[in-house]
Amino acid sequence: MRPLPALALLLSLSALPALTQAQTPSAACSLAPVGGEMRELTSGGLARSYRLFVPPTTEATPLPLVLDMHGTGGNATGRAAKSGFEALAVREGFAVATLQGEDSRWNVPVVSGRPDDVRYVADAIAHVAARVCIDPARVYATGFSGGGRMASLLGCRLNDRIAAIAPVGGLRWSGPCPGRALPVLAIHGLADPTNPYEGHADRGGEWVESVPEALAGWASHNRCQPKLVQQERPGPLQTLGYAGCSGGADVRLLRIDSMGHLWPHAEVDAPNTIWQFFKAHPRP
């Protein structure tokens, strides 16, 4: 299947307290480039890390920040090599923090005794914002598989900090969620054997509801009209979504019929499609 052109896709897509130091750009507001370096921080008493990429820029304005999360068993270095976000960031002008789960897993659904990954992400945002000139209204979360489940959780628990989410192969509904309506773009393969589109995988609560059920949970939270609308004629790549969402907080799904459990490049240009959605949805 040939990739859908980025412009066509763009047209088709018509809880912790906030940490004070991340609410505004840091005093230094540095825009010095960072070429993909691992950074260390402490979160919840544990040593944690993430990979930071800041592109060269001639603009003197704060940068958007994309948080990207690996799947179960992955790591930040491998994820950065696979996702394509850093190369796109050079062209589009945003920073990327590729996050690292403890023991290559994310604590979602949340289990006591495991690291508090919501706290870790909040701390990572603050850590970046203290060092790089970041626009706090344009912080976004995406990820693949387990990283998509984590992005879904962040949309619920950190929606005062996260402007929009885009889970790939991992959309979940972790509600009820406090706070505002949150824009959601999900990408999922109909032939995914690991996280089945129809849900109900026997994995201890990781994959219970179907993708449409998870999407409906977000649509209800965003006070969208109740009917899921197919926005194009039937075909191997479908754009589905809800109309009339509160505050323009779109809820969209790109369903790729033949795609299994993977980060798409041939089927659709995932990083560019996600970035175009993010760019259209800053936090109010």
Exposure string (b/e) for 176-198, b if CB count within 10 Å is 16 or more?
Answer: ebeeebbbbbbbbbbebebbbbe
Model pLDDT, residue 232: 66
Q: Three-state SS across 203-258?
A: CCCCCCCCHHHHHHHHHHHCCCCCCCEECCCCCCEEEEEECCCHHHCCEEEEEECC
**Domains assigned to the chain:** 6-279 (3.40.50.1820)
Flag whether pLDDT at 11 surpasses 80. Answer: no
Model pLDDT, residue 59: 81
* Cα-to-chain-centroid distance, residue 169: 11
pLDDT greater at residue 111 or residue 18: 111
Model pLDDT, residue 28: 53
pLDDT greater at residue 236 or residue 262: 262
pLDDT mean across residues, the chain: 90
What band does 14 get if pLDDT is binned at 50, 70 and 90?
A: very low
- Rounded CA gap, 240 and 238, in Å? 6
Model pLDDT, residue 21: 36
How many C-beta atoms lie closer than 10 Å to residue 51's C-beta?
21
Q: Poorest-confidence range of 44-58, 136-150, 220-234, 267-281? A: 220-234
**Residues 180-193, mean pLDDT to the nearest whole number:** 98
What band does 126 get if pLDDT is binned at 50, 70 and 90?
A: very high
**DSSP state letters, 158-218:** STTT--EEEEES------S--SS---EEEEEETT-SSS-TT----STTSS-S-HHHHHHHH
- For 38-42, the CB contacts below 8 A with 24+ separation are 38/76, 38/77, 39/127, 41/123, 41/124, 41/127, 42/123
**Residues 168-195, mean pLDDT to the nearest whole number:** 97
pLDDT greater at residue 24 or residue 83: 83
Distances, alpha carbon 71 to alpha carbons 1, 82, 150, 194, 279, in Å: 24, 11, 9, 12, 24
- The amino acid occupying position 277 is F
Q: Which has the closest alpha carbon to 156: 197, 104, 214?
A: 214
**Residues 258-264, mean pLDDT to the nearest whole number:** 96
Model pLDDT, residue 234: 65
Contacts of residue 7, defined as CB under 8 A and 6 or more positions apart, other chains included, come to none
- Rounded CA gap, 172 and 113, in Å? 22
| Eight-state DSSP code of residue 104 | G
Contact criterion met (CB below 8 Å) for 41 and 127: yes
Flag whether pLDDT at 83 surpasses 50. Answer: yes
Exposure string (b/e) for 231-262, b if CB count within 10 Å is 16 or more?
Answer: eeeeeebbbbbbeebeeebbbbbbbbeebebb
- Rounded CA gap, 194 and 82, in Å? 19
Flag whether pLDDT at 26 surpasses 60. Answer: no
Model pLDDT, residue 230: 87
What band does 2 get if pLDDT is binned at 50, 70 and 90?
A: very low
User: What tokens does 216 get?
Assistant: 């409906």
Residue with token string 């930071």: 52
**Residues 112-137, mean pLDDT to the nearest whole number:** 97
